[in-house]
Chains A and B, each alone.
Chain A
Amino acid sequence: MTRRKLEENFFRILMLMSIIVVAGSFFLIVGTIFYKGVPFMNWDMITKIPGGGFYIGKEGGVLNAIIGSLYVAGGATVLGLLISIPVAIYINMYLGNRNVIANSLRIAFDVLFGIPSIVYGAFGFLIMVYFGIKASLLGGILAVTLLVIPILVRTLDEVIITVPKELRDASLALGATRWEMSKVVLRQIRPGIFTAILLSFGRAIGDVASVLFTAGFSDNIPTSLHQPAATLPLAIFFQLGSPVEEVQGRAYASALILTIVVLIITVLSSLLAKRFSKNKIQ
């Protein structure tokens, strides 16, 4: 009997330890980034573009990368939404929940979600070479759009499922077409759409491998779709590789900026998701 008790306690402690490691790694990462990043953080970092000699430690900031990232992530999310809302509606409203095709489509989007961003990046690069587009904001947005479509479709899909079937039936019974029914449903899931937007934006703003080939890099804020654009993760990556201590410090500070932005987005989206699940009609 005591041996069994011992075993029980041993594993209980082991489990407790592993959950501490798993949840604690989050604090370790954020803590490290804050600890290293805060000393190098200053106002110039977020208000100035790189000045002359920025990469040997002279003054300037990463505003170009911040704006570039916002452009890429924002553009990709908008474009992605335009594609994925109709797709999610089609899967749910026109094909239905238990349809074989609908379920295969869901698996297909899950699989697309699993494809690494470097493959999207390489593929985006192929397309750009094919059409003769140079590395530019446009290329970056297109590659990242491919990346976020699966996220958007699957999130929207899960949200649409939570809309009560009675609501759809009622609108159909009143003589609405499927498209009109979809409009009713879309109104119901508005907060869910916002969650999807945040999720996709968060993923888009942090991704490097897809913009590496496609968006290029530039010290200026892009003013047209055809100019190359810097992105924050890429800026971190480049600066970290520099032998100059000042520049490495800027990488830490940039990492701090990115971490804060992403954390805010994640917290917002989970709060929203919680509110959404609380308000939904059972």
Chain B
Amino acid sequence: MLLLTILSVSVVVVIGIGLYYKSVPVLSNSSWWHLLTSREWKPLKGLFGFFPFIMGTLWVTGIAIIIALPLCLLSSFYITEYAPHRVRKILVPFVNLLSGIPPVIFGVWGVLFIIPLIQNHIAPHFVEFSTGYSVLAGGIVLAVMIFPLIVSIVCEVLATIPKELKEASLSLGATKWETIRKVYLRKATPGIIAAAVLAISRAFGETIAVLMVCGNNAAVPHSVFDSGYPLPALIANNYGEMLSIPMYDSALMFAALLLFIIILLFNIISRVILTRLERRLAA
């Protein structure tokens, strides 16, 4: 049992080492800095600049979190503070059901619903022409995907706030909203940050849904209606040619390593915050 435990936990380390080992060839060709900031993506010439892909990922993730965070915070406040018990019993299962839907279904939904919506109804107000396949579409689909994650964590965090604080604030004549704004928000800030960081890292690594709606054009997006090409999509899209072009597999593994490192850091940070909160509650 000890052995199995060690083995399964050490997967983290083994993944890191394996991916690094594989990306050594591309790293020996050019520096980290160069790989991260160069815009030239010409695999046939051995030029691997990840800047467009990193920007694509950042745009999509940014849009997703900007849409999802306020909606989810307000929803969590509603669920924990306002909703009558019966309504809560109906609402929460739907949020949970949403978390069970596989990514590819979100992708299909994005293609069938969000893309036409952007193409025909949103984009025409702002730009001359857009196919709908854009970082905005990716952001919206991702936002919906991270709804359940943020709502469930924030609800748990809100539950850790002592009831006395709320009652004190209400008894001093504050309205419910004032209590939320001045007591809850302040108390729950670390937890909310942890939830947001966790959601960001989820959005960072999401592959197939984003791949299906983002347009996959290796250029730095300049507006929300431009297409983008996030890192995970890059890896997924090119695995076929990976072994036929020299260095290509190494470059893609470098992309995976990049994702891995960023997400590992984000996850550790947010988990440590959340565990501390939990422990404070237990004490």
Contacts and interface: CB of A to CB of B under 8 A. Distances in A.
Interface of A: 4-5, 7-8, 11-12, 14-19, 21-23, 25-30, 32-33, 36, 83-84, 86-87, 89-91, 94, 103, 105-112, 114-123, 125-127, 146, 149, 153, 202, 205-209, 212-213, 233, 236-237, 240, 251-252, 255, 258-259, 262-263, 265-267, 270
Contacts of A27: 94
Nearest to A179: B1
B127 to A, nearest CB: 25
A115 B1 contact: no
B170 interface: no
B207 interface: yes
9 contacts: A32-B109, A83-B4, A90-B1, A90-B5, A94-B1, A119-B259, A209-B103, A236-B104, A270-B93
Contacts of A202: 100
A87 B4 contact: yes
Contacts of A108: 9, 12
B215 interface: no
Contacts of B235: 118, 122
Contacts of A107: 268, 271-272, 275
B212 interface: yes
B22 A270 contact: no
A26 B175 contact: no
A115 B207 contact: no
Contacts of A206: 101-105
A153 B74 contact: no
Nearest to A210: B207
A116 B259 contact: yes
A115 B208 contact: no
A263 B97 contact: yes
Given A7-B177, A15-B82, A118-B205, A22 B95 contact: yes
Given A91-B5, A111-B267, A126-B18, 7 more contacts: A7-B178, A19-B75, A29-B101, A32-B113, A94-B1, A125-B239, A209-B236
Interface of B: 1-2, 4-5, 7-9, 11-12, 14-15, 18-19, 22, 70-72, 74-75, 77-79, 82-83, 91, 93-98, 100-109, 111-113, 144, 147, 151, 175-178, 180, 198, 201-202, 204-208, 212, 232, 235-236, 239, 252-253, 256, 259-260, 263-264, 266-268, 271-272, 275
A105 B9 contact: yes
A11 B177 contact: yes
Nearest to A87: B5
Nearest to B92: A23
Contacts of B8: 83-84, 87, 109, 149, 153
B264 A115 contact: yes
A205 B102 contact: yes
A118 B259 contact: yes
Contact of A110 (B82, B93, B112, B271): B271
A231 to B, nearest CB: 10
A11 B268 CA distance: 34
A207 B4 contact: no
Contacts of A32: 109, 112-113
A237 B5 contact: no
A240 B232 contact: no
Nearest to A94: B1
Q: Which of B9, B70, B253 has the most CB of A within 10 A?
A: B9
Closest 4 CB pairs of A and B: A206-B102, A116-B205, A266-B100, A15-B78
A263 B94 CA distance: 11
B95 A114 contact: no
A205 B94 CA distance: 20
A73 B151 CA distance: 28
B100 A265 contact: yes
Contacts of B147: 22, 25
Nearest to A123: B15
B19 A122 contact: yes
Given A22-B95, A109-B9, A116-B205, A233 B102 contact: yes
A33 B1 contact: no
B133 to A, nearest CB: 12
A153 B266 CA distance: 21
B104 A255 contact: yes
A126 B11 CA distance: 13
Contacts of B177: 7-8, 11-12
Contacts of B97: 26, 263, 266-267
A142 to B, nearest CB: 12
A106 B271 CA distance: 10
A134 B73 CA distance: 46
Q: Which of B8, B95, B105, B268 has the most CB of A within 10 A?
A: B8
A4 B264 CA distance: 44
A237 B107 contact: yes
Contacts of A15: 74-75, 77-78, 82
A23 B152 CA distance: 13
Contacts of B108: 33, 236, 240, 251-252, 255
